[in-house]
Structure 1
Amino acid sequence: MNDANRAALAALARPAWLATRFELLPIRGMQEAAGALPEGAVVTVTCSPRHGLERTLEASEWLAGAGFRVVPHLAARLVRDRAHLERLLARLAALGVEDVFVVGGDAERPLGDFPHGLALLEAMTVLSTRPERVGVPAYPEGHHNIEAASLQCDLEAKAALADYAVTQLCFEPGPLLAWRDRQQRRGLRLPVHAGIPGVMERKRLLSIALRLGLGHSVRTLQRQGGWMTRLFGPAVYRPDALLRGLRSSLGEGGAGFLGLHIYTFNQIGPTRAWLETLPNSRTAMPTSRA
């Protein structure tokens, strides 16, 4: 057996979760939630105006110390200036962090020199402490505050400075696949992770989706949460149908999706239990190192 065959067999034997990124919120109970994560999992840590960058960094430090591969979110509007950015990146480098996720952030006004994610990306390109990998967000179902044309221009500009993208939370494959096809036709070569929800109470998930201002996916979830479902269907959402719709496009870094990014909202236990029911194959959940 040659090395290539051995590598292929090893990949097939990996648990399905190894290809998955888990997103956590750095709020009370996060450490307990992280206890249900698989050992060595890739964990992204969000950043909000309410808690600030420091909370994200503290959570990242704890998670890195617990043996996880941490991907902190850096919200551009919360970074004051280049000196502040250099200190942030140096702190992450000391932790061994090789991957960060740059977002504009939800702060109403920027605290300093970076009004949006693109500005922060541009500043990072000239710094020796820029992490090995930098991710950016993508919005297949649009953004409630940004026009579609502006979103597209922004993504294309970021693609020249980033290493991968992660889509917003979606509940059905159609918008994700249609968006990926459009990007492919436009020549976007940035690898993309498909953002999907984890397993959680359907009512809670719908509430989150409405707050995020999602489009087609919210209507789908509302249909699924109609009176027939409430009477005869499960109260807990599982992304089985979504994953079935995406399966043929997973593992295709160019034409499809490199892997999955699960928005867990810290509901790790049910999500991991669901993942462990999936086939341990590259078709079900390909390994990725975007």
Structure 2
Amino acid sequence: MGILPFTKHNRVPRQATQTEAFLQGHSIEVMPRTAAKIEDFRQILPAGTRVYIAHLAGTPIGDMVATATRLRTEGFEPMPHIPARLISDTAMLEDWIARYQGEAGVRQALVLAGGVARPEGAFHCSMQLLETGVFDRAGFTRLHVAGHPEGSRDIDADGSDRRVMEALHWKQAFSERTDAKMAIVTQFAFDADPVIAWAGRLAAEGIGLPVHIGVAGPARLQTLLKFAIACGVGPSLKVLQRRAHDVSKLVMPFEPTGFIARLAAYKAAHPDFGIERVHFFPLGGIVACTGWVQAHTGAARPATQP
């Protein structure tokens, strides 16, 4: 019996790996000052990628809108943060929304409390912003809210997650009375097991909002430790601390490979697992993060579009 040659006609298409499948539809976060360092996002991101724009205290709204406009022009979906504690009143919120829509065609937002201790006006949490009805009246098609798989000391100072869970129940109920699609985008983590347990608890509590899990892109260990401590990452911090004891790894960038592979494998085995997307925080730089994603999705660097 002759051996049939493997020609292009009988090759079997390569199946996507679990990690590749899990990374489909990922998003990334930028700030106006970091976005300004990228000459053309079309060279590093797939067309249509959702790009969150972080709004830190002191950032002028003009810079935020300009960044959203640029991303829209280059073919991406801008999703600006709308931080409650930086907004003085409903009129200011309406002005921001009008500018985002009029200049950048924005129809999506991450609505959150914001990273300042003292509110600048009447709002102190995302629920107050949602209750104004401004987003519904403006026809926003997607509203994301924050999630904390390992709790938040800013919200629950006693170390519990009582208030965090109460807020998620409220947001679940709100999702059922708005036309906008909603999802939870989380703080970054480094240990998959607490994330898996948290997602299971949400399901048990009747919180069915899809979860976009926060992932820190490749970065030096010292950088990740600094951000993890500042952001109140809990059990995951032990992963970084263990690595810090290995001197041979201190000079090597920490990558999310193992963390994502564990979640991807769990998702493949449990299709109803509530985590549906990956959201990257490029703590070690946007180019390093997008390069890692390209290497783990089998994707070539996108060509510049006209």
The alignment's TM-score, normalised by the length of structure 2, stands at 0.79
Q: The residue matched to 2:79 in structure 1 has which SS?
A: strand
Query: Residues 24 and 44 of structure 1 are in contact (CA less than 8 Å); yes or no, is this contact kept in structure 2?
Result: yes
Q: Residue in 2 aligned with 1:44? A: 52
Aligned: 1:56 with 2:93 = no
Q: CA deviation at 1:92?
A: 2.0
Q: Residue in 1 aligned with 2:138? A: 129
User: 2-side partners of 1:87 and 1:266: how far apart?
Assistant: 34
Match of 1:150 among 143, 163, 184: 163
Amino acid at match of 2:25: A
Q: State which structure, 1 or 2, has the greater radius of gyration over its C-alpha atoms.
A: 2
Q: Residue in 1 aligned with 2:119? A: 110
Match of 1:31 among 32, 36, 53: 36
Unaligned runs of 5+ in 2: 1-12, 176-181, 300-306
Percent sequence identity is 25
User: 2-side partners of 1:207 and 1:30: how far apart?
Assistant: 22
Name the CA shift for 1:212/1:78 in 2 (closer, same or farther; >3 Å): same
Name the CA shift for 1:155/1:134 in 2 (closer, same or farther; >3 Å): same
Q: Residue in 1 aligned with 2:7? A: none
Q: CA deviation at 1:249?
A: 4.3
Amino acid at match of 2:26: T
Q: CA deviation at 1:262?
A: 0.5
Q: CA deviation at 1:125?
A: 5.9
Q: CA deviation at 1:80?
A: 2.0
Amino acid at match of 2:252: A
- What is the correspondence of 1:167-178 to structure 2 with a 5 Å cutoff? 167-178=186-197
Moved over 4 A (4+): 15-18, 249-254
Q: The residue matched to 2:132 in structure 1 has which SS?
A: helix
Render the CA deviation track for 1:202-248: whole Å, top value 9, x for unaligned: 2111111111121111111111121x2x2257620111100111003
Q: The residue matched to 1:237 in structure 2 has which SS?
A: coil
Name the CA shift for 1:125/1:256 in 2 (closer, same or farther; >3 Å): same
Q: CA deviation at 1:87?
A: 1.8
Q: The residue matched to 2:296 in structure 1 has which SS?
A: coil
CA RMSD of aligned residues (A): 2.6
Q: The residue matched to 1:143 in structure 2 has which SS?
A: coil
Amino acid at match of 1:168: Q
Match of 2:218 among 199, 211, 218: 199
Name the CA shift for 1:232/1:128 in 2 (closer, same or farther; >3 Å): closer
Name the CA shift for 1:219/1:149 in 2 (closer, same or farther; >3 Å): same
Q: CA deviation at 1:12?
A: 6.2
- What is the correspondence of 1:91-110 to structure 2 with a 5 Å cutoff? 91-94=99-102, 95-110=104-119
